[in-house]
Amino acid sequence: MRTMVTTFSYPSSTYFVRSCSIRENHDQVKQPVNTGIRTNGSFRSPIKVETLSKIAGTTSTTLGQAVTVDENGLRQNIPTKKQLVDPHRQGLITEGGVGYRQTVVIRSYEVGADKTATLESILNLLQETALNHVWMSGLLGDGFGATHGMVRNDLIWVVSRMQVLIDYYPIWGEVVEIDTWVGASGKNGMRRDWLIRSQATGHIFARATSTWVMMNRKTRRLSKMPEEVRAEVAPWFIEKQAIKEDAQEKIVKLDKEAKYMNSDLKPKRSDLDMNQHVNNVKYVRWMLETIPDQILERHQLSSITLEYRRECGSSDIVQSLCEPEEDEKLHGVVEPDYCTNLLNGLSSDIINGSGVLTYLEQRPLRYTHLLQIKGEKQNDEIVRGRTRWKRKIVTMPFST
């Protein structure tokens, strides 16, 4: 079996491995990959790990607040034992000992112009809860998600794919519960899923899933999951899936014929994380900023899929390409009487009642995206994306 994998990192550092293959009989993939990538070693990964024996043998304690100083003079505050409850973060272990749930109140600076949480805030909260899940395990060594077994094998987690579906955006002050858990993905990968729901009603606001593989921190090669690590990780895997996908649709690669393009995007100091790599949320911002204002004003993102390809460093010059998958005129990029003309062309049963609304809702606006690094000879892909958009209810012109 040869499994094609594209690997990257999450939330912020992406590593360049384009379509490498994992060979089952080798602990590490021999296929050479780009080694000219800056990395400072540490890495944020949302993996949740603990051996089953440890789960069974641990009693619930609250997070110790002792702050120690590490070898670099930095104060550290990482629990050394598994925690079942984190009263400060309002987190707890669920799913019979392997899942994590955190209660979060949407903050004033996490909402946008319409008083609802921004996509960026939601992505941040996914990262936060994933890391808190690991944090609770008591196995977190350096603060960035590698298990002890992974540290011993010089392995890091890199994310290859992420999908977020958002039905409702929580509003400022709303209390949400975020559940996250991990599962197997093929023989050597891991899936991490999330559910965001209203605490008041239990209504599900958003679902998300992501896929992870292991990479050797030094060689930058993909790696099989060593048995040592599997023993740590596998006991945490559960079957539950936040998003049911029959088959993953491929995201096509855009080229210079794309309808929209923002060029000369330069990372700023504040866009960089501690690895001096561009933060994942910045990627999404660059992607969405290519969509016309007319669309962004009337629509909200209902789905985003990201396929990570390589990292982006502080000196890279980035291009953001964007292509609508159907006629944008249906969705707000219109001449004043376009809607009337459109209606004239529709059959009367569609127009009647909520028919037009249904018609538009059944044809969500879709965009394909590409972020790439502008190179002298060729452009290197950072991330491909696909977004779906639905009309904001408040500005729906036909919602009478």
Query: By the criterion CB under 8 A, which residues form the site for its own copies?
Result: 11, 44, 65-67, 72-78, 88-90, 103, 105, 107-109, 111-116, 118, 120, 124, 127-128, 131-132, 135, 143, 171-175, 198-201, 268-270, 272-276, 279, 281, 285, 288-289, 293, 296, 393-394
Helix (H) or strand (E) holding 387, with range, is: strand 380-391
E strands of 142-259, at which residues?
A: 155-166, 175-185, 189-198, 204-216, 222-223
What is the spatial distance between Cα 234 and Cα 190, in angstroms, rounded to a whole number?
A: 9
To its own copies, the closest distance from the beta carbon of 109 in angstroms equals 4
Q: Residues 363, 389: contact at Cβ < 8 Å?
A: no
Residue 387's nearest CA partner among 283, 277, 240, 316 is 283
By beta-carbon proximity to its own copies, the closer residue of 54 and 285 is 285
What is the 3 state secondary structure string of 119-137? HHHHHHHHHHHHHHHHHHH
Task: Decide if 312 is catalytic.
Answer: yes
Strand partners, 195: 179, 207
Q: Residues 205, 197: contact at Cβ < 8 Å?
A: yes
By beta-carbon proximity to its own copies, the closer residue of 27 and 361 is 361
To its own copies, the closest distance from the beta carbon of 90 in angstroms equals 7
DSSP string across 279-290: -HHHHHHHHHTT
What is the spatial distance between Cα 208 and Cα 225, in angstroms, rounded to a whole number?
A: 24
* Residue from 153, 188, 277, 331 carrying the catalytic annotation: 277
Handedness of CA 273, 278, 284, 286 (dihedral sign): positive
Task: Decide if 275 is catalytic.
Answer: yes
To its own copies, the closest distance from the beta carbon of 277 in angstroms equals 10
* Residue from 132, 153, 188, 275 carrying the catalytic annotation: 275
Count of H-run helices and E-run strands, the chain:
9, 17
* Residue from 312, 322, 331, 369 carrying the catalytic annotation: 312
**Chain-centre distance for alpha carbon 318:** 20
Residue 215's nearest CA partner among 12, 43, 36 is 43
What is the spatial distance between Cα 375 and Cα 36, in angstroms, rounded to a whole number?
A: 14
Residue 329 DSSP symbol: G
Residue 11: half-sphere exposure toward Cβ, Cα within 13 Å? 23
What is the spatial distance between Cα 29 and Cα 21, in angstroms, rounded to a whole number?
A: 7
User: Catalytic amino acids?
Assistant: 275, 277, 312
